[in-house]
Structure 1
Amino acid sequence: MKFEIKRLIGFSIAAGILLAGYSFRSANAVNTKPVLEKAPNILIIMADDMGYSDIGCYGSEIATPNLDQLAASGIRFRQFYNGARCCPTRASLLTGLYPHQAGIGHMTNDPEDSTAYQYNLPGYQGSLNNKCVTIAEVLKTRGYQTMMSGKWHVGYHDRQKWPLQRGFDKYYGILAGAANYFNPTGLRGLTLMNEPVKPKGKDFYLTDALTDHAIDFLNENHQQTKAPFFMYLAYTSPHWPLNALQDDVKKYRGKYKNGWKALRKERYNRMIKMGILKPEAELSADDAADWDKLSPEKQDEMDFRMALYAAQIDRMDQNIGRVVKALTASGELDNTLILFLSDNGACAEGGDLGGGLTENLGTKKGYMLSYGQSWANVSNTPFKKYKHWVNEGGISTPLIAYWPKMIPKASQGKFSDQYGFLPDIMATVVAASGAKYPLAYKGQSIIPMEGKSILPILQGKELPVHHQPIFWEHEGNSAVRMGNLKLVCEYHEGRPKKWELYDLDKDRSELHDLSASMPEQVSKLSKAYNEWASRAGVVPFDEIKKIQASRHK
């Protein structure tokens, strides 16, 4: 794939010099007059349950040439964080708040159970509340066309919580958290605008269909309105079930028969060589079954599971290439800010060797088909833990930022060591578009956004994004980061918090606990965490579990 990147010499842009859907090219040179420019388009692409090292430009053997090209012409962040789980991440991404502030401190409700996680607690209502605004709602005030294709997962049963009721002009996708890729029907079926629709054609595949509709929406906007657009393209790939197309699977079948330990070491060495990890970075302990003790038949099955997983990522990358090609054809690519990230770390659900019936592998059947913790340990190289936890393996995501009109030539293909997290995306979008984040919306006071803009980094300024602590809490797993220090605690039911302290500049894999030697920092950061938890509406997870148990008796 070739990108036709037109560099505008002398172009620079800063937040605060944008007008009503248009922006000014700033006059840095003598006798240069400002030139009116169309406001930037914004495209956010999210993968689902994909680990830190699962794409080529972050060290993977999986073929992702389109993402690799975006990275080669953009900036990769070594230290960007998500929210450890599907729907809390999506709530935080869309609103610029911590997930509890937006109403999704745990999970949203499952289609099969309308009472799930409805705790009558402000931070745990299971859908976006009216104290937040979405990126779509903010950008519509600047004349943007707002479109979404993909997984919603921030409010299911109440139609007022659906995409069109939260600022999007157009929507296609699944409202729930997961679906069969070949036949997403029933409670986990497809929605177009506000109406249920059926999969079209015998060759239906969800990743392709999400892209088809995204491109249709983009082309319609270009032809009919020519307004700047915001597109949120939320793929379900590579979230289970392991549903992949045969031609894609063939590329990988048999490539994983050396097992997870060997592959993890290969990725680790490649990541150091590529500069993703520092040379002194350590590899966390293997957290997998013993490959050599598996029968030949079981080894073949596990090769198949990983091949299916890899094929899902490969197909997603192919589809991202289709979107970029469509933007190139319409002349919109140069003026589009593209952000790619994953919603949490790799998923260890299904046990060491994965879940679901072996006989369903490679078919169009199955729902809870997963590749298991042993392969997830590879996906999260070099970190420990997984989705659900707030160690680096649970919250670290690749972040690729691509924007030809903003990123200087000298910065293209580089890494940033500045750390950021999901609420920064709202702040960045507001800064880039010139929109104003509201104090109130539809008569309701709105919680101030929590993030900071990464726009200076995209302008080539390697400056710290955060000067105050940032926080995580999911299912009682807790963390706070300030500078190079991270305080983290793994939840154990009925036990008091046991904080661990790590210097991430020297120990990104969280192997050397400094809590005993730096008690003053533990005290300072834990106090900051407790103050944040109180203001953000975090409830101790032991209490949440008691409420949950009482509701399901």
Structure 2
Amino acid sequence: MTSGHVGRTYGESTPWWPQPPTPREGAPDVIVVVLDDVGFGSLGCYGSEIDTPTMDALAAEGLRYTNFHVTPLCSPTRASLLTGRNHHAVGMSLLSNADSGFPGKRGTITHRAATIAEVLRDTGYNTYAFGKWHVAPMDQTSAIGPYDQWPLGRGFDRYYGFLEGISDQYYPELVQDNHRVEPPRTPEEGYHLTEDLVDRAIACVSDHKSVGPDKPYLLYLAMGAGHAPHQAPQEYLRRYRGRYDEGWDVIRQRRHARQIELGIIPPGTALAPRNDGVRPWAELPEEERAVAARLQESFAAMMEHTDTHLARLLAHLDRIGTRENTLIVLMSDNGASQEGGGLGNTNSIAYENGDEVPHADNHARLDEIGGPRCHGNYPWGWAQAGNTPLKRYKQNTHAGGVRAPLVVSWPGHVPAGEVREQFHHVIDVTPTILDAVGARMPETYRGVAQLPVHGTSMSYTFADAAAPTRRPTQYFEMYGHRAIWHEGWKAVAYHERGTSYDDDRWELYHLDEDFSECHDLAAERPGVLHELIGRWWSEAERYDVFPLDDRNFAERAAMYHSAASPRRRRSFTLYPEMSRIPGGVSPLIYDRSYRIDAEVRLRAGDEGVLISQGDVNGGHVLYVAGDRPHYEYNHQGTRYRLHGHSLLPEGEHVLSVVFTRTGSCQGVAVLEVDGRPASRKEPITTAKYLIGWQGMVLGRDALSPVSWDYPHGFPFTGTIERVRVELDTTPDTVHEIFD
């Protein structure tokens, strides 16, 4: 005991009870809503024609920031948002799918950087996270963990959402707290991830306020919208039919004019010219326009659908009387995505493997866009429209990648309907929240000395629109693209993958006078440019940016050199009781020889899936139907099917697939029954880096289906003893992954 007294009897003793941490009186509830891949010009309150009345209302009762910046990619922004530190400094240079073996590139948040959830929980808050996480290493997201980088390991009391960077909105791979769960309903029953997340958030707030009405909470709500796949219920898709037939040139001009009218951009701001590769809408063939318009319709429908459900959460706060003391932060993690390519695509895995979906394939799926059978993403022209009036996209350090919408609502503490122009960065959000709740980041957390907070509280801007920015400098880097902002000037270099960094051309913009980065002053002000470039190298050294690395995400994600990584395994024995193995831990069958042996016991009429991996984008599945074995390899929508010719008798069998690589990303597959060939097919083209987003499971194909040749889920009715997966050990068959 640290107080009181323990005597021989109760009468001789003085009791004492330890007091839990207590927030300051009147400390607000805090809700942080993170949108995904939503560009600067994509919300109604930032000039868009997309119907987002709930977000617009938040802006009308709070502040809109027009000079708010993020990193060019999701995991790094989330790492900075949660910690208040620069992303390289905490170990998240790129995505949590890759550990490149360097301090700034671990794909994880160092424990030297406590999160806002860890700090607020120790201050007396309850902490809840819903939705996208994507800051835990993907090879640490299986049932064996480790769990220290999962939400509950980084300060959240409860979690419900998905750990990967992308999720099918109809068939998400869900995690609740520290275990995997199945979606509560099917798409046919009306399921959509956004509605589910908001349902859970509302229930959580109700639980919290029913039991602890005076105790504040932090609610981190990270939506899947508007990251591809852009999926929304049919009623929302129908609302946008035909609304984008005029094309991206007209829409971009309208958004630009509306932004000036709203005061979001200064009068005289130039509309950036079309990015490289973006064709004038009028020059597109009619069928290409039809696909491009439909892809943008699905994005807009997804955003309105998200807005509708966000309205339910805010209405619930009003109903229970807590809205007035709730600080709400609404932001996007980066600019609109270039990952749809020049034509747009209907298969997100194709992009990750460096392939473009042929236009004919996109057009053939026109009526599937936005639904559960399609993972669609809009083309570059619509991405640039999403970033109006800016140039370039997500992944780039030009403004289109890093200038993002930010709305702050806090009744009675921020004025209503005003705009703020001070330069700020995502690392400033956590210091702002800490300032609002009266907490601070500790110098030591759980015995670990902490990195200094790199961000600055934005609270000085709440009451003073004219206050000078308190952030003098901010660097940016992604995939070798580099930039630095300093006292109103910005130097930026676009990097062509595979070229020398010394050949990159640095541009110079005076952002105080050139909001959209249209007037390059590099030739006119070489002294300013030289000073900024030198400052970038200094900041990069300070924050662990080096070594520069321009390899794409899939290349880096395929590399698991750590001896502890399960991805280095070449032999797997799987048992039917196991939970789903996530994609980051599933056997690496990509572009290599492999063998699958399923040991089963069959009765007459038994059928179902034995092993499946992947989703509608790509994957493979071994199953029994019609008393015959079947194997399907789905390569980015091209389906290779093998069917056993003979009936399977009752009893014990080993049903096998033997794939032999015969060249780069191709080979021959043989379906075997008890060691005897039953079917053969060649050539089969295979995935290079990623086969599908969803992981591996035995005995069913329960989420986004690999194949359409059986009923959804198709659970196996026989007995699976075990399934063995053996991978070829030849290094060059997997691009020297295991060198």
TM-score computed with the length of structure 1 as normaliser: 0.88
Shift, 1:76, TM fit:
0.5
CA contact (8 A) 1:452 1:465 kept: no
The equivalences for 1:234-253 within 5 A come to: 234-253=222-241
CA contact (8 A) 1:71 1:401 kept: yes
> Residue 197 of structure 1: CA displacement?
0.6
In the alignment, is residue 361 of structure 1 matched against residue 369 of structure 2? yes
Contact 1:453 1:465 in 2 (8 A): no
In the alignment, what sits opposite 2:260? 272
Moved more, 484-493 or 397-406: 484-493
**Is the Cα–Cα contact under 8 Å of residues 21 and 228 in structure 1 kept in the other structure?**
no
Matched residues in 2 for 1:362 and 1:313: separation?
Answer: 12
1:204 and 2:191 are equivalent in the alignment = yes
Mapped contact 2:421–2:465 kept (Cα < 8 A): no
Q: Which residue of 1 aligns with 2:26?
A: 38
- State the match for 1:298 in structure 2: 288
The within-5 A match list for 1:150-161 is 150-155=131-136, 156=138, 157=140, 158-161=146-149
Measured against aligned partners, the alpha-carbon deviations of 1:383-425 in whole angstroms (never above 9, x if no partner) come to 0000000111000111101000311xxx310101111001101
Picking from 329, 332, 335, the partner of 2:322 is 332
1:126 aligns with 2:134: no
Which residues in structure 2 correspond to 1:504-523 (within 5 Å)? Answer: 504-523=511-530
1:495 aligns with 2:501: yes
How far off is 1:518 after superposition?
Answer: 1.8
Offset at residue 446 of structure 1 (A)? 0.8
The structure whose residues are more often helix, as a share, is: 1
Q: SS at 1:271's partner residue?
A: helix
Which of 105, 127, 152 is 1:146 aligned to? 127
The answer to whether the 8 A contact 2:480-2:550 is kept is: no
Which runs of no fewer than 5 residues in structure 2 stay unpaired? 1-19, 141-145, 347-360, 560-734
Structure 1, unaligned runs of 5 or more? 1-18, 24-36, 110-116
Residues 444-489 of structure 1, C-alpha deviations (whole Å, 9 max, x = no match): 1110110110112123453233343111111111111112101111
Aligned equivalent of 1:177, options 162, 165, 177: 165
Return the alpha-carbon distance in structure 2 between the equivalents of residues 246 and 454 of structure 1. 40
1:542 to 1:195, Cα distance in 2 relative to 1, 3 A? closer
Deviation at 1:291, TM superposition (A): 2.2
Judging changes above 3 Å, is the alpha-carbon distance between structure 1 residues 251 and 434 closer, same or farther for their aligned structure 2 residues? same
Q: 1:392 aligns with which of 399, 404, 408?
A: 399
**Corresponding letter in the other structure for 1:516:** A
**Cα distance change of structure 1 residues 268 and 524 upon mapping to structure 2, 3 Å threshold:** same
Answer yes or no: is the 8 Å Cα contact 1:469–1:480 preserved in 2: yes
2:49 alignment partner, SS class: coil
Structure 1 distance, partners of 2:305, 2:370, is 15
User: 2:206 aligned with 1:213, yes or no?
Assistant: no
Q: 1:41 to 1:462 in 2, by over 3 A?
A: farther
2-side partners of 1:550 and 1:88: how far apart?
A: 27
> Does the CA contact (< 8 Å) of 1:49 and 1:239 recur in 2?
yes
Q: Could you say what the CA RMSD is over the residues aligned between the two structures, in angstroms?
A: 1.8
> Residue by residue, what CA displacement relative to the aligned partner does 1:38-86 show, whole Å, maximum 9, x if unpaired?
2011111010011111111100000011111111110101110011101
- In 2, Cα distance between the equivalents of 1:243 and 1:523? 46
State the 1:550 CA deviation.
5.9
More strand by share: 2
> CA 1:222/1:107 → structure 2, altered by over 3 Å: closer, same or farther?
same
Aligned counterparts of 2:344 and 2:287: Cα–Cα separation in 1: 15
For residues 469 and 377 of structure 1, the distance between their equivalents in structure 2, rounded to whole angstroms, comes to 26
Q: Report the alpha carbon displacement of residue 297 of structure 1 after superposing the two structures with TM.
A: 3.0
Q: After the TM superposition, which residues 457-496 of structure 1 pair with which residues of structure 2 at under 5 Å, given as runs?
A: 457-460=461-464, 462-492=466-496, 493-496=499-502
Cα pair 2:456 2:471 within 8 Å, conserved: no
Q: CA offset at residue 217 of structure 1? A: 1.2
Percentage of matched positions with identical amino acids? 35
Equivalent residue, structure 2, for 1:423 = 427
How far does residue 100 in structure 1 lie from its aligned partner after superposition? 0.9
* Residues 23 and 124 in structure 2, CA contact (< 8 A), matched pair in contact too: no
1:103-150 deviation per Cα after TM superposition (whole angstroms, max 9, x unaligned): 1111211xxxxxxx2222111111111111111001112100100101
Distance 1:135 1:450 in 2: 14
CA distance in 1, matches of 2:170, 2:442: 41
Aligned to 1:232: 220
- The CA deviation at 1:271 is 0.9
Q: CA separation of 1:512/1:543 partners in 2, compared to 1, >3 Å: closer, same or farther?
A: closer
Change (3 A) 1:21 1:391: farther
User: Partners in 2 of 1:216 and 1:551 — Cα distance?
Assistant: 45
Q: Which has the higher contact order (CA 8 A, sep 6+)?
A: 1
Q: Which amino acid aligns with 1:230?
A: L
Which residue of 1 is the match for residue 583 of structure 2?
none
Higher Cα Rg, which structure: 2
* Partner SS state of residue 329, structure 2: strand
Matches of 1:238 and 1:389, distance apart in 2: 18
Confirm or deny: 8 A CA contact 1:494 1:542 kept in the other structure: no
CA positional deviation for 1:247: 0.6
CA distance in 1, matches of 2:381, 2:529: 32
The Cα of 1:426 is off from its aligned counterpart by: 1.0
Looking at structure 1, the residues matched to 529 and 226 of structure 2 have their Cα atoms a distance apart, in angstroms, of: 37
Deviation at 1:544?
Answer: 6.6
Per-residue CA deviation, residues 150-208 of structure 1 (Å, 9 max, x unaligned), is 10000131422100010000100000001111111xxxx10011110111122210111
Q: SS in structure 2 opposite 1:541?
A: coil
Task: Kindly state the Cα deviation for residue 516 of structure 1 after the two structures are TM-superposed.
Answer: 2.1
**Structure-1 separation of matches of 2:532 and 2:239:** 47
Question: Which residue matches 1:322?
Answer: 312
Q: Which amino acid aligns with 2:529?
A: V
Structure 1 residue aligned with 2:70:
82
Q: CA–CA distance in 2 between the matches of 1:362 and 1:83?
A: 28
Distance 1:123 1:550, change over 3 A: farther
Whole-angstrom CA distance in 1 between matches of 2:437 and 2:234:
42
Alignment-mate amino acid for residue 485 of structure 1: W
**Paired position in structure 2 for 1:534:** 541
Secondary structure of 1:511's counterpart equals: coil
User: What is the distance in 2 between the residues matched to 1:350 and 1:417?
Assistant: 31
Once the two structures are TM-superposed, the CA of residue 300 in structure 1 deviates from its matched residue by 2.2
Residue aligned with 1:149, SS: strand
The farther-off stretch of 464-473 and 99-108 is 464-473
The partner residue of 2:179 within 190, 195, 200 is: 195
| Aligned match of 2:657 | none
**Structure 1 position 99 matched with structure 2 position 87:** yes
How many residues are matched? 507
Deviation, 1:292, is 2.2
* 1:223 and 2:207 aligned: no
Amino acid at match of 1:340: L
Change (3 A) 1:296 1:518: closer
Q: 3-state DSSP class of the match of 2:405?
A: strand
Q: 1:445 aligns with which of 426, 429, 449?
A: 449
Match of 2:418 among 414, 419, 422: 414
Whole-angstrom distance in 1 between the partners of 2:513 and 2:269: 7
